[in-house]
A and B are shown apart, each in its own frame.
Chain A
């Protein structure tokens, strides 16, 4: 039986169980004077949980382990000598066996019966090709019996699994049903399950972190075994070079400082522009705007968050950068009489400005929701004292909304740090170390992408540095976040 069918049956069983449990609980409630601990609905869910959870766990476990077991079994039967004679590795040979096996399943029953251990692979291939199943030319006769066996094993495994899962579902339902009693704490159990699910959901964040660390760890260690950490962390020159064929003397320098500086600088400029605009927009929408205009403006601003960043990048490259450059030329000309630009077309300012546009909705929409949910009584309290609207907002509403707004700002800052395309096109890729916002700079993320997707040698320091950069950025933002948590805790205010 196919997995969806099994799922369907399990759900059917749990549904039946649930309905029966509901009836039973209801009659219990009616018959006995004692009150039910939990409502019949919970008894029903209780039984449904018993029916589904163990059986689905079994199903999942089976689906994961059975193929592994079967494949080790079949692989063990691959004749070593024959394999050695062919050009195939064990994995490839098994792949062919597998595709023959799955091809067998596609064949109609009468044709499948004609296939025996003795069928030469050529005949089988012909059969399969007629059904539109391509077969590798490297297939050999000895693979056919294995394919047949594999197929048989899979069929058996599936039948056993089907029966086991369905029986377990039925048993679970019965078990749950039997436990129904007036004092059964069905609600608590069901809520325990819900809670378990909630905990599982929040652990995904941790799993993701672990995953990220592990997907970068080995390469990072590899990198640091070639380039000394001191050189990386304290170097002020970023010039990795292209790893030339003989890699003679082209080790390059991997100074991290200019990238970090660029990241923080560009992020800061973007935040400096986006936060006031976003916050004021949010305040206006939440406090002043008519509901109607708000419901138009807000989604419009949200569109800014959804425009692909490459579009922003080209916007910066084609429009904003040259505009700022020409503007600076004019200004310089008017002030000093010397018509030369002091803002470069690619600059920290350009990148910050364009990135800020993208970030506006992060600040505005999230803050708007938070500000709106501050209770009216607080506003009334302040207005009733003769505060103006803006005073009310500044002194009462914003402080009350602060924890939420801080979260929104953190999220915004995070986006600013993680952005690539805009920086590449607006600020360039030159890793300068400068304080001048009119000069090009670049960020860690840009370099991660560049080093990872270039034509470099894949196990040279030039590529591996991407992992080191990613890891370092990860650790830095982690520290910043720990600090932010500490700050937020300190200033957390609860209103009511």
Chain B
């Protein structure tokens, strides 16, 4: 052996000279490698910045809504006397409120009421959704009938878009939604201080509407919230449980292989197919109601499960076996070992999977199409069994609207969706920080 050693050492001396040759090259490789990392992250962040910028620059205006202060005369002629109203509400309910609003504006703008063209043009400046707003004022307090009050009314989406400079005013008058006369009206309103941009709370509270100015995300936010709750409450525990079974308990046999292949495969199933599944199973078979966030939540749960399971399994697998041995050797049962030691160590990976899965579920439209959640829903859902929509659905539907005012709302809705996502992410960062450790 000493011969071999001698020769080995002799050549070792020779080798040690050669060693220096590579060092420059290897450092270059190292720098390159590190640079790739920085470039990769740079590219990712760059894309993110571009996307966010394009969304926010288009959408921030959606958070402001133009309103007009109009002196409204609640004329008895149109509404009936308060006494009539006490007897039967029908007249109050059905009264022509848009007319009251238009008359108010006509007065404000000093238009000759017999100039029908000007009156119509002025009327188009106010949202036709005023009906509900004015009706609510009257119903709340019948004593306003017969009086004149200043009321802030939503401007129509054309006026709103014009105020935000979203129309190309250089094109001929007949080719744009807002006429020169209307522009004059606007100028006059501005001069009077009767027009203002106010924070658009309605964007968060209103339900769907065919008028941009009264269209809001209320129903969608509630629907998305219900669905995320359902997904989180079902997909996370089920996903983690399934992963634990597969990684820690399951004997390695054909059955577990089957489950494994199945799960991986489900991840590749196009999301709309989950919609087909939801339609067939939850609606047609279980008889759950159409358009309900419960069904949406269940479908998204099934869709998210594979993501969570795959991520969780990878995380569990990364926990070194010595940790398990240590616990088992102390007389901890397998269940205890898993829940006390392995799972906490795998938590960061699980959280990542959950975040990505939830993000995906939060932004998904296609499966909701088939279970009736891509819909026009006005009334707020009280329970997950009521018809509702979801944020991406509202985005999708608004994106397909022809009216200009919906374009900014689409981006505004995306901003809100991203805010939703950011909140989820922040929670996850916080949790992940707590669980992460290197050993």
B-binding residues in A (CB < 8 A): 187, 191, 194-195, 197-199, 201-206, 208-209, 211-212, 214-216, 276-281, 283-285, 288, 295, 297-312, 314-315, 319, 357, 360-362, 364-366, 368-370, 372-376, 388-391, 393-394, 401, 403-404, 407-408, 410-411, 413-415, 417-421, 444-445, 448-449, 452-453, 467, 470, 473-474, 477-478, 480-482, 484-485, 494-496
Contacts and interface: CB of A to CB of B under 8 A. Distances in A.
A303 B48 contact: yes
A481 B436 contact: no
A307 B421 CA distance: 9
B269 A315 contact: no
Nearest to A313: B399
Interface string B401-426: 00000000000001001100110011
A391 B33 CA distance: 9
B246 interface: yes
Contact of B40 (A276, A309, A415, A453): A276
Interface stretch (B61-69, B99-107, B273-281): B273-281
Given A301-B45, A307-B414, A482-B261, A453 B369 contact: yes
B306 A311 contact: no
Contact of B349 (A216, A305, A357, A369): A369
Given A311-B55, A365-B352, A389-B30, A306 B421 contact: yes
A467 B432 CA distance: 41
A309 B395 CA distance: 11
A366 B349 contact: yes
Given A208-B302, A299-B426, A310-B399, 16 more contacts: A198-B249, A206-B259, A211-B281, A303-B422, A306-B359, A306-B417, A307-B418, A357-B44, A361-B44, A394-B33, A410-B267, A411-B307, A414-B306, A418-B271, A470-B276, A474-B273
B311 A308 contact: no
Contact of B37 (A191, A281, A306): A281
B210 interface: no
Contact of A215 (B40, B245, B276, B395): B276
Residues of B in contact with A, size category: 35 or more
A422 to B, nearest CB: 12
Given A215-B279, A388-B30, A311 B352 contact: no
Contacts of B111: none
A214 B438 contact: no
A477 B363 contact: no
B392 interface: yes
B309 A205 contact: yes
Given A202-B241, A205-B305, A311-B414, A388 B44 contact: no
B30 A195 contact: no
A209 B48 CA distance: 35
A86 to B, nearest CB: 24
A202 B335 contact: no
> Max chain A CB contacts within 10 Å: which of B33, B44, B48, B317?
B44
A414 to B, nearest CB: 4
Given A214-B280, A297-B41, A411-B267, A305 B356 contact: yes
Contacts of B39: 280
Contacts of A310: 365, 392, 395-396, 399
Nearest to A368: B352
Interface of A is mostly: helix
Which 4 pairs, one residue from A and one from B, show the smallest C-beta to C-beta distance? A284-B37, A306-B359, A215-B280, A414-B268
B148 interface: no
Contacts of B232: none
B34 interface: yes
23 contacts: A198-B242, A199-B245, A211-B280, A215-B280, A303-B418, A305-B356, A306-B360, A308-B365, A311-B395, A361-B44, A366-B311, A373-B348, A408-B310, A413-B268, A414-B268, A415-B268, A420-B270, A420-B271, A445-B270, A453-B369, A474-B265, A495-B320, A496-B321
B386 interface: no
Contacts of A215: 276-277, 279-281
Nearest to A474: B269
Contacts of B271: 418, 420
B269 A369 contact: no
A284 B273 contact: no
A496 to B, nearest CB: 5
A364 to B, nearest CB: 7
B263 A205 contact: yes
Given A191-B333, A366-B353, A201 B30 contact: no
B438 A216 contact: no
A414 B266 CA distance: 8
Contacts of A453: 369
A61 B199 CA distance: 52
Contacts of B260: 485
B64 to A, nearest CB: 22
B362 interface: yes
A298 B267 CA distance: 23
Nearest to B286: A64
B328 to A, nearest CB: 14
B264 interface: yes
B38 interface: yes
Given A206-B258, A281-B37, A357-B47, A305 B360 contact: yes
Nearest to A469: B270
A390 B29 contact: yes
A201 B33 contact: no
Contacts of A285: 37, 41
B277 A283 contact: no
A291 B375 CA distance: 45
Contacts of A308: 363, 365, 392, 395-396, 414, 417
